[in-house]
Structure 1
Amino acid sequence: MEFYRILSATLLSLLFLTCNASNSKLFREYIGAESNSMKLSDVPINSKVEFHFILAFAIDYTDDNHPSPTNGKFNVFWETNHLGPGQIGSFKGSNSNVKIAVSLGGDSVGSGKAFFAPKSKTSWVQNAVYSLTYMINTYHIDGIDIDYEHFKASPEMFAECIGQLITILKKSGTISFASIAPYEEINSHYLALWRKYGHVIDYVNFQFYAYDKLSVSHFISNFKKQASNYEGGQLLASFESGGGGGLKPANGFFEACNELKDQGKLGGIFIWCAEESKNKGFQYEKKSQDLLAA
Structure 2
Amino acid sequence: MSAGSSRDGNEELTIYRQYIHDIPTHGIHFDLLKFTQIDFILSFAIEHYDKHGKGDGCFQPIWNVDGESIEWVKKLKEDHPEVRVFISIGGVGSEFPFNPAKKYKWIHNALETITKIILLYRNTIDGIDIHYDVINSSKDDFSFCIGEVIKQLKNDRKLSINVVSIAPTKLVEPYYLKLYKDNKLVIDLIDYQFYNQKFSSKEQVVELCKKLVIDYDPAKVIAGECIPVHTMLEEGIKYLIEHKLIAGIFVWTFLTLPVDPILPL
- State the alpha-carbon separation in 1 of the partners of residues 135 and 5 from structure 2: 38
Alignment of 1:1-294 (within 5 A): 20=6, 21-32=10-21, 41-46=28-33, 48-61=35-48, 71-80=56-65, 84-108=69-93, 113-139=95-121, 140-173=124-157, 174=159, 175-231=161-217, 234-243=220-229, 247-248=233-234, 251=235, 253-259=237-243, 261=244, 265-273=245-253, 275=255, 282=259, 284-285=260-261, 288=263
**Larger radius of gyration, structure 1 or 2?**
1
Q: Which amino acid aligns with 2:182?
A: K
What are structure 1's unaligned runs of at least 5 residues? Answer: 1-17
Shift of 1:236: 0.9
The residue type equivalent to 2:255 in the other structure is E
* Root-mean-square deviation (Å): 2.9
Q: CA deviation at 1:183?
A: 1.3
Counterpart-to-counterpart distance in 2, 1:148 and 1:246: 25
* Alignment check: 8 A CA contact 1:242 1:277 kept: no
> 3-state SS of the aligned residue for 1:113?
coil
Count of residues in correspondence between the two structures: 253
Residue 81 of structure 1, CA deviation = 7.6
User: Relative to 1, partners in 2 of residues 1:59 and 1:246: Cα closer, same or farther, differing over 3 Å?
Assistant: farther
- The 1:134–1:81 alpha-carbon spacing in structure 2 relative to 1, beyond 3 Å, is closer
TM-score, normalising length from structure 1?
0.76
Quote the Cα distance in structure 1 between the aligned partners of 2:38 and 2:257.
16
SS at match of 1:84: helix
Aligned-partner Cα distance in 2 for 1:233–1:193 = 18
C-alpha distance in 2 between matches for 1:77 and 1:195:
30
The CA distance in 2 between the partners of 1:164 and 1:180, in whole Å, is 14
Report if aligned partners of 1:211, 1:245 keep a CA contact under 8 Å in 2: no
Q: Match for 1:98: what amino acid?
A: V
Pair 1:179–1:113, CA change in 2 (3 A): same
TM-fit CA distance, 1:150: 1.1
1:93 positional shift = 1.1
Aligned partner letter, 1:271: V
Contact 1:204/1:233 (<8 A) preserved: no
- Could you tell me how far apart the structure 2 residues matched to 1:187 and 1:19 are? 22
3-state SS of 2:56 partner? coil
- For residues 158 and 19 of structure 1, do their structure 2 counterparts lie closer, same or farther at Cα, with a shift above 3 Å needed? closer
Change beyond 3 A, Cα 1:25–1:121: same
**Change beyond 3 A, Cα 1:237–1:61:** same
Q: Which amino acid is the alignment partner of residue 116 of structure 1? A: F
Structure 2, unaligned stretches of length 5 or more? Answer: none
Inter-partner Cα distance in structure 1 for 2:88 and 2:104 = 21
**What's the % identity of the aligned pairs?**
26
Q: Secondary structure of the equivalent of 1:96? A: coil
Q: Could you tell me how far 1:137 is from its partner in structure 2?
A: 2.0
